[in-house]
Amino acid sequence: MAGTAARRHQRAPSRQADAARAEEYRGWLREMLLIRRFEEKAGEAYSLGKIGGFCHLYIGQEAVAVGSIAALRPDDYIVCSYREHGHALARGIPPRAVMAELFGKAPGTSRGKGGSMHLFDVGRGFLGGHAIVGAHIPLATGMAFAIKYRDTDQVTVCYFGEAAVNNGAFHEALNMAALWKLPCVYLCENNRYGMGTALERASAIYDISERASSYDMINEVVDGQDVLTMKNAMDRAVERARTQKAPTLLEVRTYRFMGHSMSDPIHGHYRTREEVEEHRKRDPVALWSHRLIDEGIMDEAAIRALDAEVVTEVADAYEFAENAPEPEGSELYTDVYAGEADERTGGQADGSAQGEAPSEGATDRLSARPPIRL
């Protein structure tokens, strides 16, 4: 009996570890479903004219944000490009606050003044979506320099698309990060197209990861459709940054299932419908759902129930944003560098926003709310 009790005692930590792992895995699926359903609802709202400005959806790339942010600590820094709704949600910013920002409402992450491309939450280390291609990469390098200067063990992660690597700022930033040994992870979400231009038409080399060789920087190519592969690669890069103060370039190969923005049809003139459908066979949400079913962590009914829970949460965020107040007029003069109001611009904002015309059929496609393909 004593031997049996001892064996039970030895097995207990393993069961606890398995339970913790299963809970973590279910959490990743929930986050990916939240991003998917949130983006569908945002697309629908844009088509109905409730969101002004521009709107770039993240559908198809959910595993990148979820897997990579899972490797971070709460005090690490994140800097993104303009396609950042998914990263904000994965970082834990409430859907209500993100949706309200898209609607330009006062409770939004940037008090309704940033919109889709400028989500911001300093308390969560989420230092902005940035609209200018590649311009935020030097900012991330500066944040990493500040970490080293203060002698802490935080890490900065910079997300950008493959089109940004042809920008001069990318090379300047990586050179300085390697030279000064800064704790920064440069994460390139290579979804194959910079707006409507295929990578091979704009880049002299196909493997973006090779660009790190110019700066003696460690690099890795990662499957961005597999959330666990993404998490493991990010663990290695973050550990390297945290303990060795060494930067890494991760080329994460992924694919966006939507157009570049809401004005762009899903496949456009630069890729075929067949190509999009081929990539949909590796939908990150479906891939991870199958993994959880195969490992006995969840069954189809549980996944459907989780999806329904997420749809309800997103509907709540939508209703909250729609009923939230507009920013006060005085907000025009807060969070700006200028000390005095300029008479030429004061009082000119009328709340109207010029944006893109949604592509034909966008409302129908998004409001149909397709089931997750299993």
pLDDT tens track for 207-235: 999 999 999 999 999 999 999 999 999 99
Residue 262, pLDDT score: 84
Residue 22 and residue 182: Cα distance in Å, rounded?
A: 34
Tokens of 372: 């997750």
150: phi then psi, degrees, rounded to nearest 5: -85, -5
Q: What is the pLDDT of residues 234-292, one digit of tens each?
A: 999 999 999 999 999 999 999 999 999 887 877 678 899 999 999 999 999 999 999 99
Q: How far apart are CA 358 and CA 265, in angstroms?
A: 9
Adjacent-strand bridge partners of 185 = 157, 248
Q: What is the torsional sign of CA 118, 122, 126, 130?
A: positive
Each residue's pLDDT tens digit, 84-102: 999 999 999 999 999 999 9
Listed residue (86, 28, 30) closest to 56, CA to CA: 86
Beta partners for 78?
Answer: 126, 157
Rounded CA-CA distance 308/239 in Å is: 36
Q: Inform me whether the pLDDT recorded for 364 exceeds 70.
A: no
What band does 333 get if pLDDT is binned at 50, 70 and 90?
confident
CB-side neighbour CA atoms (13 Å) of 286: 12
Q: For residues 74 and 123, what is the distance between their CA atoms, to the nearest angstrom?
A: 9
pTM as predicted: 0.87
The tokens describing 181, both together, are 């040994």
Would the pLDDT of 5 be above 80?
Answer: no
* 158 Cβ contact list (under 8 Å, min separation 6): 79, 136, 137, 140, 141, 184, 185, 186, 187
